[in-house]
Amino acid sequence: MAREIKLLEVLNFRINFLAYFFLIVTLSAQENFQNLKHWEIPSKNPDRIILTFHGDPTSSRAVTWRTSSEIENSVAQISEATVNANIEYKPKTYKASIE
Report the distance separating Cα 85 and Cα 8, nearest Å. Answer: 64
When the pLDDT of each residue in the chain is averaged and rounded to a whole number, the result is 75
| pLDDT value at 71 more than 80 | yes
- Choose among 93, 92, 97, 37: nearest CA to 67: 97
DSSP per residue over the chain, as a string? -HHHHHHHHHHHHHHHHHHHHHHHHHHHHHH--TT--GGGS--SS-EEEEEEE-S-TTT-EEEEEE--TT----EEEE----TT--TTSS-EEEEPPP-
Q: How confident is the model at residue 72, as a pLDDT?
A: 86
Q: How confident is the model at residue 81, as a pLDDT?
A: 74
pTM for the full model?
A: 0.54
Over residues 12-57, the pLDDT tens digits come to 666 755 565 555 655 555 566 777 777 788 888 888 989 898 888 8
